[in-house]
Amino acid sequence: MSTQTVENRHRVVVIGSGFGGLFGTKHLKRADVDVTLISKTSTHLFQPLLYQVATGILSTGEIAPATRLVLRKQKNAQVLLGEVTGIDLQKKIVTSRLLDQDTVTPFDSLIVATGAQQSYFGNDRFATYAPGMKTIDDALELRGRILGAFEQAELATTQEQRDRLLTFVIVGAGPTGVELAGQIAELADRTLEGTFHNIDPRDARVVLLEGAGAVLGPMGPKLGGKAERRLAKMGVEIQLNAMVIDVDAFGVTVKDSDGTVRRIESACKVWSAGVQASPLGRMIAEQSDGTDVDRAGRVVVEPDLTVKGHPNVFVVGDLMSVPNVPGQAQGAIQGATYAAKQIKAGLNGQAERKPFKYFNKGSMATVSRFSAVCQVGKLEFGGFLAWLAWLGLHLYYLVGYRSRIITVIQWFVTFLGRTRGQMAATEQWVFARLALEAISTGDDEDAEELAATLGAASNSRVAVDKATRDAKAG
């Protein structure tokens, strides 16, 4: 075990390299502090554009620059790679692990910005067959599943098998679900048109399932209705009040509001129906008398975003529970910036803190090329102008001029033409996680079902089966 020690100056530890972690660290650039950013990934992920990686528009490099490169000019910042396994608020230390090495990092102030992960509402087994959209691994795996489904459909020997492979199900009609449904539909109708001999990609069926009664519910009926009509015009099947009660390798089971249970056969499923906070939230709350977590595991923080009894511990972003603050990038950025300001004010002897106030800059979602919906205060609008606003906002928050320039070029090629620049997919992207799960369970039958999730090629199935048999033998 190694210990990170920095003497004399105030020590700030930031956990997480997302919007909250990165903006909090950068806002302390000129402060008289030493900052240690700990993250389990080596990149700063621009999560709102993950769906464009999954559908071949952008590469991972544009939306996930290396955190070390982003912060290399910030002399008072250090980056540590590792997953945080422990936080001791009394001893003021954070323990992180990289492979088999533990590192203990002391702090005087702590900013926890670990974000959220996909929630399957207690049905974690669904993740095997319907990955979420929270990480680069998720996006690359999903790209392989989408393109692999078309490839398998080209080789299908029955219409029933072909229909199952060409049916794409997205669970959850929030911004991610809407954006992904629109892009899969455009991928099939524009990019892949005429590229197969035995199938017409335009026959692909895209189904968007929503357990509630509206698309983009938080954005209101006007914008939700605009998005719904645009998706329907593109051929997306929108099924509201449809609760998914089971997911397996070959499809989903849905329960409608009238109690009817039905089946949708589908090879490629995506889950975007809910989120849950990092387990670190509960770990922090348990060490603070009177601090609770909500149903999603988010920490119910004080007005200054700290936990009770620990004014030096800030919880921001998707990990904090603050009324009327959505789990979006803006909430993380504003929360982290506020926390950094309070740390600097404390160093200057200012003990009194004004409560955190969130400024709602609006929300938006893209539906298809040239079409989006946008809400800014009481102003609601959709269509081409909303799409331009969406492009501009996302370009503004991308990190680095290179990423912005390349992203503009890729968008130009994709939206004005028919091709997409990132259509590569490998078996390892799709099967690596499945093989590791099979090894960990040591279950041959499970491994076969996992491989069948995509109608895998025989050599992939053999590889997975061999891995599980070797694990059992070991």
The catalytic residue positions are: 179
3-state secondary structure at position 396 = helix
What distance in Å separates the CA atoms of residue 113 and residue 319, rounded to the nearest whole number? 7
Sequence-ordered list of residues with C-beta below 8 angstroms from that of 438, at least 6 positions apart, any chain: 446, 447, 450, 464, 467, 468, 471
* Residue 29 and residue 340 in contact, taking contact as beta carbons nearer than 8 Å: no
- Reduce the DSSP state of residue 19 to 3 states and report it: helix
**Nearest-5° angle of CA 126, CA 83, CA 397?**
80
User: In angstroms, rounded to a whole number, what is the distance separating the alpha carbons of residues 427 and 417?
Assistant: 28
Show Cβ contacts of residue 40 under 8 Å, excluding neighbours closer than 6 positions: 81, 82, 83, 84
DSSP summary character for residue 177: H
Helix (H) / strand (E) element for 122: namely none
Dihedral of the alpha carbons of 430, 432, 437, 440, in degrees to the nearest 10:
170
Element (H, E) at 160: helix 159-165
Q: Phi and psi dihedrals of 312, rounded to 5?
A: -100, 0
Phi/psi of residue 249, nearest 5 degrees: -65, -25
| CB contact burial 163-188 (16+ within 10 A = b; e otherwise) | bbbbbbbbbbbbbbbbbbbbbbbbbb
Nearest to 402 by CA among 52, 41, 48, 61: 61
